[in-house]
Structure 1
Amino acid sequence: MPELLCMLQAVQAPLQIGIPNLPPIKDSALDNLCGLGNPSGPGQYPWVVALYKRGNYIGGGSLIAPGVVLTAAHLVMNISANEIVVRAGEWDMASTSEQFRHEERSVVRVEPHEDFSFEASTNNIALLYLKSPLELKAHIRTICLPGEGKTFDQKSCLMAGWGKRSFQDPYNSSKQKSVEMPMVKREDCQNQFRRTRLHRNFELHESLICAGGQRDKDACTADDGSPLFCALDNDPNRYEQAGIVSFGIGCSQANVPGTFTNVAMFRDYIDEKLAGGTFEL
């Protein structure tokens, strides 16, 4: 992947985003447009954030509002809000001289789902409220959320984060990686898991969806909480979040998908939490 970012803000003429017969979107409005990615390299998926606990990377999340991050509940359970820092606009964790600077915000509140189960990895979703909202720009942007109950069957989607590239790797990826992953039907996913150590009685909970199951195309260790996102049906240049990395059996094994929290199942829940909060979004 070439390390080149085509900065949308730098374009002088209005940009044409999405369907050709729609009017162009002015540059000034682009930063507030959810789910709009950049062509390649740093800032390609500007809603992906890294989470740190006392200076150590622990997993990923997604920016769903300037002051709110969506992640997996298991990642932040038993961690105090004041221990977590969200880093947005990051790409290469090993570099101190990137062209586009990341920004950090402390977390003032951690809100896991009330019915989250660590043992079953069900309702595995949490909201992190930031001390102050992030300023949106080309390499720091929010992701769109799907409508309640939307399905992504037969779609090919993407996961981005800083986890290991393979289960055998000793270290996480320093540069943000992205993996294209096909969605897997619920029945197929459940049957495939029943052939693993989860055994024949495994039941895939309704709060989980599946993707992957192809060799070398999977989320992996330390991708926990990172987003799975798919192109909008009517605009291939923009994305909405389908899932949150939840659990898997190893990484990148053929016919063994990964599981993701079903974001569309929780859309109304997320809206209610944000509408009822007192934080600036």
Structure 2
Amino acid sequence: MTLFFTFLLPLLISFAIGQQYGYQNQHNNYPSLDSSEKFPWVVAVLNTDDLFTRYIGSGSLIKPNVVLTAVHILNDISENELVVRAGENDISTTQDQQHVDLKVLRIVAHEQFNKYNAENNVALLILKSGFTMTRNIQTIALYMGGGRVQRNSCFFNGWGKEEWNSKDYPSTLKNTKIEIIENDICQRILGWPLSTRQFCAKGLQGKDCSGDGGAPVVCKTGENPYTLAQVGVVNWGSRKPSDNKPTIYTNVYSLRGWIEYQLRLPANFVPDLIVEAV
């Protein structure tokens, strides 16, 4: 079943040492992971090419006007058919918290995306304007080293399916916990080499997660105090209900050079776009 938003159009991410990159949460006060305002960096990527606004995947806000997501969810959709929604939690109601929709100026898909093994499955959505930072709309820093990743603290968020026997998608943003495992261990389990631009994690046994493509994988980094940083992006893969093998994700750290390069290009840079946190 396709997930639709509830109104008509007219009413309408081996780890190394380095530095984190991107627009930072100025107050360093991400909401508690147990609070009602859980994951303010998660955005919904919407297709508006028909009467209804249709959810196609998730992404992360890494700058006020830049979303990091996966190539495969876009499926040759053009910029003018896309909308990014931030601040959303429960799509079945407009009463829980205020969301904001922005249009997409440019899609920057990785030119070496491999649809057969999902290597380089990453894309940037450059928005026509920037989101104003609020309590429920915040950026997430990309992991660029700068502290040990707590591999058993990772999770991703989206509106994708939860269980194999489910026909519907959840209306409320869900939290899926995973644990990163070493690539050499993963390769032995899978039986084939793993790209350095990917990593493995366990935790999806018995879960479907169809519709979570592009969702940010976030982990705790450092200790006392820890910070949250995006280390990966939910990738594409074919799974079956009985499949207990690890799941493959896009490695954000390995693609930092590509991301930084793209955001320096004049065509992908919106000047004088500075949004202060409120």
**TM-score of the alignment, normalized to the shorter chain, above 0.5:** yes
Partner residue in 1 for 2:216: 227
1:90-140 deviation line (CA, Å, top 9, x unaligned) = 000111211x20111011100001111112201000000111100011110
Q: Are residues 1:278 and 2:272 paired?
A: no
1:102 alignment partner AA: H
Preserved contact between residue 156 and residue 218 of structure 2 (Cα < 8 Å): yes
Partner residue in 2 for 1:21: none
Q: Are residues 1:184 and 2:177 paired?
A: no
Preserved contact between residue 201 and residue 246 of structure 2 (Cα < 8 Å): yes
Quote the Cα distance in structure 2 between the aligned partners of 1:39 and 1:67: 24
Preserved contact between residue 25 and residue 140 of structure 2 (Cα < 8 Å): no
1:13-24 alignment, distance < 5 Å: none
1:163 to 160, 165, 168: 160
Partner residue in 1 for 2:195: 205
1:133 alignment partner AA: G
Preserved contact between residue 210 and residue 257 of structure 1 (Cα < 8 Å): yes
Quote the Cα distance in structure 2 between the aligned partners of 1:156 and 1:243: 13
Deviation at 1:206, TM superposition (A): 1.5
2:72 alignment partner AA: H
1:80-229 alignment, distance < 5 Å: 80-98=78-96, 100-147=97-144, 152=149, 154-194=151-191, 202-213=192-203, 215-216=205-206, 220-229=209-218
Preserved contact between residue 148 and residue 221 of structure 2 (Cα < 8 Å): no
Q: Are residues 1:266 and 2:255 paired?
A: yes
Quote the Cα distance in structure 1 between the aligned partners of 2:108 and 2:140: 19
Partner residue in 2 for 1:15: none
Partner residue in 1 for 2:19: none
Deviation at 1:254, TM superposition (A): 6.5
1:70 alignment partner AA: L
Q: What secondary structure sits across from 2:102 in the alignment? A: strand
Preserved contact between residue 38 and residue 44 of structure 1 (Cα < 8 Å): yes
CA change 1:214–1:103 in 2 (3 A) is closer
1:12-44 deviation line (CA, Å, top 9, x unaligned) = xxxxxxxxxxxxxxxxxx953468233434421
1:128-160 deviation line (CA, Å, top 9, x unaligned) = 011110001111000111116987474430111
Quote the Cα distance in structure 1 between the aligned partners of 2:242 and 2:224: 32
1:203 alignment partner AA: P
Gaps in structure 1 of 5+ consecutive residues: 1-29, 195-201
Preserved contact between residue 148 and residue 265 of structure 1 (Cα < 8 Å): no
Quote the Cα distance in structure 1 between the aligned partners of 2:62 and 2:83: 16
1:204 alignment partner AA: L
| TM-score, with structure 1 as normaliser | 0.78
1:45 to 33, 39, 63: 39
1:44 alignment partner AA: K
Quote the Cα distance in structure 2 between the aligned partners of 1:151 and 1:234: 8
Partner residue in 1 for 2:64: 66
1:71-95 deviation line (CA, Å, top 9, x unaligned) = 0011114110111110101000111
| TM-score, with structure 2 as normaliser | 0.79
Quote the Cα distance in structure 1 between the aligned partners of 2:246 and 2:203: 4
2:62 alignment partner AA: I
